[in-house]
A and B are shown apart, each in its own frame.
Chain A
Amino acid sequence: MAISKTLADELEKRRAVALEGGGVKKAEDRHAKGRMTARDRLASLFSEGTFQEFGLHAQHKSRHFGMEKKSIPTDGVITGTGFVDGRPVAAFSQDFTVVGGSLGEIHSKKICHTLDYAGKAGIPIIGFNDSGGARIQEGVGSLAAYGQVFYRNVQLSGVVPQISVIAGPCAGGAAYSPALTDFIIMTRENAQMFICGPEVIRAVTGQVTTMDEIGSAQAHASVSGNIHFIAEDDAHAVAIAHRLLSFLPSNNMMDPPHRVEPDLSVVDDPRLDDLVPEDPKIPFDSREVIKLLADDGDFMEVMELFAQNIVIGFGRIGGIVVGFVANQPTVKAGTLDIDASDKAARFVRFCNVFNIPIVTLVDVPGFLPGVNEERRGIIRHGAKMLFAYASATVPKITVIMRKAYGGAYLAMCSEDMGADRVIAWPTAEIAVMGADGAVNILYRKELAEADDKAAKAKELADEYRGQFATPYLAAGELFVHDIIQPRQTRSAIALTLRGLMSKRETRPPKKHGNIPL
């Protein structure tokens, strides 16, 4: 008694055809260029032997343009689940070697099934995008097929982490699926993402541009802010996804993967004292502060090249996963502008929705003054920061390192925005505005009457500075909960985090707030 050989052979034959995808030649061509095939990408994402495929035997059902005679193995996308570091993860990987990875109805159905499955199972989903776009032969059906994917991306948003890897072309409407996900990793070479390419732009507007300028990983990472990470190649993209997953919970009902030891080490780190320049005008790199605060200096920066006046990313303090948000005084004096506000606000909302405590490090002189900022809407963009912080219910710890002026002080998670613990360094300056500006308004009359205006202004400014450019006034009014030496910061945050793990805070029921977009 044994399974019929004919039937067993038939399965093996069909498997072999489907597994070959676009054929050995195309796969070899890819390898020769140092690129992975769709299957290679999943193989490197998942632990060996853990991949369970869905839809290997999928077949399209198009009856137009001679398609009925054409067989498309897997319909151009490989989907399924597997394990990463022992945790289940769902993934799809578009196969450019099969009809250009074009998206038809069955192709889309496979992706949708994978997204639905990830939602039901409560596991992260990773999508490798490498597709020429809609399968034109399938007409409006292929457009609807994109719609099905977008709809699910939105339903899953805030439920399970969604990570997109752009590893080839991703153009027109196709670019909107990644845009709806939480993180986009894009390979430096061989990947393009755009809505209208250079040719269309020139045909319609006459503007001359290049793919590098509008669609490359570099452009998206530094100028448009559409992506979060640049990968050097496919393997690096997978490595970034692995590292990112190591900080994220599987879904919104779980805690992130904390690595809490029973004993908490509370030791001062004098290197933090050394990092703070004596002169408040000399900038320091807030990344250095974060690296000293994070366990083993392990900090995964997100959107490193975009709006560099604010630094965001993941790390752990005392084993607890946190999201860092820090002003960066070395860039644009650490001011908040439109791009910085957008970047930080979205990150805060990600952390909140996935139960990741937020550590905010403040050294902000204010919002960036400028006609351009005002006219482009710094009010509504800056408001996103207030909205994001005020609506976040995760533990929120704020460290005021140096400047915290005006509205930007509030936007960096002040006590009034619901910070659970606000600590300041002795170097903190918390005030409505800087001394020189304030004196000009407060003492306009005195200054006008003074014989030596400059001397009088300096005298008044020094007086103002002595009173307001310190943390003591704010601490006196309980806006700052404690003032500590920089070297005590790591211990202080670690202790606070430990005590906030059971934090619960509820809000009035509503469909959703109306964040200024």
Chain B
Amino acid sequence: MKRLRITVQGIAYDVTVEDLDSPTVAAPVAASPARAAAAPAPVAAAPAAAPAAAPVAAAAPAAASGPGAVPSPLAGTVVSVDVSVGQQVSAGDTLLVLEAMKMNTNIGAPQDGTVTAINVTPGSNVTEGQVLITLS
């Protein structure tokens, strides 16, 4: 995790940068480089063995938003927030309602959990991928 300041046309932005591809994120599996290099042949004969050698610690691609983050599927305006912090929810429960493209979109809980953070209020404009709510 690195904090950086970027200045664009005279305006300074403080940003936090996380290197997701850093080898320290995952414990490297002792994969023989020779074998790995042999496999890219268009029709590899070895892949049967590959699943067993899958990396142990995977850096989730969604790590930027963290586990339990509920991102907005599309840009829109928040109509209502139907839960409060601390509330227990089950998968599929409506967390909030967005209005976008002349339609209300119910944002459901992707999994069971407790609401730990609500980042928007009714009337907020949100962008695609923005984290709306975080579940534990």
Contacts and interface: CB of A to CB of B under 8 A. Distances in A.
B50 A208 contact: no
B91 interface: no
Contact of A135 (B45, B76, B102): B45
B10 interface: no
Interface stretch (B1-9, B51-59, B82-90, B116-124): B51-59
A81 to B, nearest CB: 27
A132 interface: yes
A223 B86 CA distance: 31
Interface in B46-68: 46-48, 50-51, 53-55, 57-59, 61
A209 B43 CA distance: 21
A197 interface: yes
Contacts of A203: 31, 33, 36-37
A333 B100 contact: yes
B106 interface: yes
Contacts of A210: 54-55, 58
Given A206-B21, A370-B128, A172 B73 contact: no
A62 B78 CA distance: 66
B39 A200 contact: yes
Given A192-B50, A206-B23, A209-B58, A133 B43 contact: yes
Interface in A91-141: 96, 100, 102-103, 132-136
Contacts of B51: 169, 192, 211, 215
A331 B106 CA distance: 8
Interface string A189-207: 0001010111110111011
B71 to A, nearest CB: 13
Task: Give the dominant DSSP class at B's interface.
Answer: loop
B74 interface: yes
Contacts of A281: 99, 102-104
A174 interface: yes
A302 to B, nearest CB: 22
A133 B33 CA distance: 20
Contact of A199 (B25, B53, B57, B101): B53
Interface in A364-395: 365-366, 368-370, 372
B75 interface: yes
Given A198-B50, A281-B99, A330-B105, A171 B44 contact: yes
Given A173-B42, A208-B55, A282 B104 contact: yes
Given A199-B31, A208-B59, A332-B73, A172 B43 contact: yes
Contacts of B39: 172, 196-197, 199-200
Given A136-B45, A192-B51, A366 B101 contact: yes
A196 B76 CA distance: 37
A174 B102 CA distance: 45
Nearest to B99: A281
Given A169-B48, A198-B55, A208-B21, A333 B43 contact: no
B44 A213 contact: no
Nearest to A403: B102
A331 B98 CA distance: 11
Contacts, number: 146
Contact of A142 (B26, B29, B31, B43): B43
A379 B23 CA distance: 38
A142 B128 CA distance: 46
A132 B48 contact: yes
A202 B31 contact: yes
A208 B37 contact: no
A365 B103 contact: yes
A146 B45 CA distance: 13
B18 to A, nearest CB: 14
Contacts of A211: 50-51, 54
A133 B44 contact: yes
Given A133-B46, A171-B47, A365 B75 contact: no
Given A198-B50, A198-B55, A134 B45 contact: yes
B74 A368 contact: yes
A505 to B, nearest CB: 34
Nearest to A197: B50
B11 interface: no
B102 A280 contact: yes
Contacts of B53: 198-199
Interface string B10-43: 0000000000010101100101010111011111
B125 to A, nearest CB: 13
A392 B1 CA distance: 54
Nearest to A368: B74
Interface string A395-413: 0000000010100000000
Contacts of A368: 74, 101
B74 A196 contact: no
17 contacts: A96-B48, A102-B45, A133-B45, A134-B44, A172-B41, A192-B50, A197-B44, A199-B31, A200-B39, A200-B40, A208-B57, A209-B61, A213-B58, A281-B103, A283-B106, A329-B103, A370-B128
Interface of B: 21, 23, 25-26, 29, 31, 33, 35-37, 39-48, 50-51, 53-55, 57-59, 61, 73-76, 99-106, 128
